[in-house]
Amino acid sequence: SKADIGLIGLGVMGANLALNIAEKGFRVAVYNRTTARTRGFVEEAGALAGNIVACETLEALADAIAHPRPIILMVQAGKAVDEQIEALKPLLGAEDIIIDAGNANFRDTRRRMAALEESGPHFIGMGVSGGEEGARHGPSIMVGGKEVAYRRIEPILQAIAARYEGEPCQAWLGPDGAGHFVKTIHNGIEYADMQMIAEIYGILRDGHGLSAHEIAPIFAEWNGGRLNSYLVEITAAVLSADDPETGKPMVDVILDRAGQKGTGRWSAIEAQTLGVPATAIEAAVAARSLSAMKAEREAAERRFGVPAPAAGPAGKEALAILEQALLAGKIVAYAQGFSVMAAASREFGWNLPLGTVARIWRAGCIIRSQFLGEIAAAFDEAPQMENLLSTPAFAPVIETAHPHLRRVVARSAEGGLPVPALSAALAHFDTFRRARGTANLIQAQRDFFGAHGFERVDREGSHHGAWGQAG
């Protein structure tokens, strides 16, 4: 019988997604550019091979699927996606559906969708989060595109998605690039979350002088509290692991140079384009860039030195402060990410259901956490809210936690410990909560050197200063 769906690209994510689909009782036709990989995949599929149709050409793939044919692309984001679309176009009809499940830039997704708008096939941009494990056993799935096209694949997505208390973590979020945009912001938040965890790790390691094995149980304990999340959980696991070769803690033999494939950077770029502050995310992206400058950092340490650990023992109280600081930073980062999505939704007319976004992030994805359940609940209470910091659910939490964030940032600054994302979060909070800022001076300067005009506090309209007299 014909397959229910096709899948192109049997890399780690594609292969695991195909196995997930097959396991849920759907027949999946698979194709990979190198045929050896396709054959190997079917051999490794074991009992699931019965639901897999191995195809050695794109023509065979197109023939193997029942109409209208949905085909998932799980190939490298960028040029490869355009090439696959071109190759598939002559083989598909207007009713078929190409689903790009990679980490595409949503602007590419919009372009691709517009290009296929008249001729077809339908195009869907689908964010998939959860890494290898998620793809295999249940990712979080963020769909953008035409709703009619989504409805046709919905049963399969329902079946393969992660579940949170029985609810599948997948949803149609809006037209064109909505799904890939939301995935991009997910990753931006992921960057901020990871960076803030790494900063706390840095304080414990370089400030308190603790070893990886001493830090691991701290995160494990936090995972039992308000910070309960996948990222905190794996941090504890990662810090406990040893390198089989040297017997040292695994993290101690890993080079401190972070990779990045682009989604974090796009989050920061889009936030800037939309005029929304996402400084915790930006700091996290910049921290990865600075991490990559290993040789320069080594030279700088030789030149300037670094302070010795001076924070003293990490007692119960110190740890409680760090835990609260991380929570406060996290709230600001998530608030920024959700504000970027709210602005994009307005800009592109997506009508993004932000409560649903939080809901489908509760399981399956990399940033899954108890915290996202709280965000979902906050949106249930106030569906139109645009700033988490001002909600009845989060305002009291940030109110209790920000003094701790302040202490951690202040002490880190004095001890020479870098906490770029945490301090960006603190600066955001302090700027946000101050009704009278300092942009009056910026406006005065702009008017002074360029006659840009300013608004006055006491009457309407655009005004100029009497700078000549001052000069």
Interface characters, 250-279, with ligand 6PG (x: CB under 6 A) = ---------xxx-xx---------------
Could you confirm whether 190 is annotated as catalytic?
yes
User: Which residue intervals of 279-315 are DSSP H helices?
Assistant: 279-291, 294-304
Catalytic choice (44, 190, 248, 317)? 190
Residue closer to ligand 6PG (CB basis): 45 or 189:
189
Residue closer to ligand 6PG (CB basis): 71 or 185:
185
* Residues belonging to the chain: 471
Residue closer to ligand 6PG (CB basis): 263 or 324:
263
Q: Quick count: other Cβ atoms within 10 Å of Cβ 160?
A: 26
Could you confirm whether 147 is annotated as catalytic?
no
| Of 11, 68, 120, 131, the one binding ligand 6PG by CB under 6 A | 131
Query: How far, in Å, CA of 97 to CA of 184, rounded?
Result: 22
Phi, psi of 161 (to 5 degrees): -70, 160
| Interacting residues with ligand 6PG between 377 and 396 (CB under 6 A) | none
| Of 9, 70, 125, 130, the one binding ligand 6PG by CB under 6 A | 130
Residue closer to ligand 6PG (CB basis): 16 or 339:
16
Query: How far, in Å, CA of 155 to CA of 106, rounded?
Result: 24
Contacts by 354-359, CB closer than 8 A, 24 or more apart: 354/379, 354/383, 355/379, 355/380, 355/383, 356/171, 356/173, 357/142, 357/171, 357/173, 357/182, 359/164, 359/167, 359/169, 359/171
Query: How far, in Å, CA of 289 to CA of 151, rounded?
Result: 40
How big is the site for ligand 6PG, counted in residues (CB under 6 A)? Answer: 14
CB of 77 to ligand 6PG, least distance (A): 9
**Residues 48-62: b if buried by 16+ CB within 10 A, e if exposed:** beebbbbbeebeebb
CB of 257 to ligand 6PG, least distance (A): 12
CB of 140 to ligand 6PG, least distance (A): 8
Select from 23-31, 125-133, 394-402, 449-457 the region that touches ligand 6PG (CB under 6 A): 125-133
Residue 217, token pair as written in the block: 């149980």
| Interacting residues with ligand 6PG between 96 and 115 (CB under 6 A) | 103
| Of 10, 17, 358, 365, the one binding ligand 6PG by CB under 6 A | 365
Q: Are the CB atoms for 136 and 145 separated by under 8 Å?
A: no
CB of 50 to ligand 6PG, least distance (A): 28
Catalytic choice (2, 146, 183, 399)? 183
Residue 133, token pair as written in the block: 């494990």
Give residues with Cβ within 8 angstroms of 264, minimum separation 6.
187, 188, 190, 191, 281, 284, 285, 288
> Is 14 a residue that touches ligand 6PG (CB under 6 A)?
no
The residue number with the shortest CB distance to ligand 6PG is 129
Burial class (CB in 10 A: 0-12, 13-18, 19+), 462: exposed
> Is 187 a residue that touches ligand 6PG (CB under 6 A)?
yes
> Is 151 a residue that touches ligand 6PG (CB under 6 A)?
no
Residue closer to ligand 6PG (CB basis): 352 or 409:
352
Q: Are the CB atoms for 392 and 404 separated by under 8 Å?
A: no
For 161-251, strand residue ranges (E) read: 163-164, 167-168, 170-174
Residue closer to ligand 6PG (CB basis): 259 or 461:
259
Residue closer to ligand 6PG (CB basis): 85 or 284:
284
User: Which residue intervals of 118-211 are DSSP H helices?
Assistant: 131-137, 147-160, 178-202
Catalogue the active-site residues: 183, 190
Per CB under 6 A, residues contacting ligand 6PG are: 103, 129-131, 186-187, 190, 259-261, 263-264, 365-366
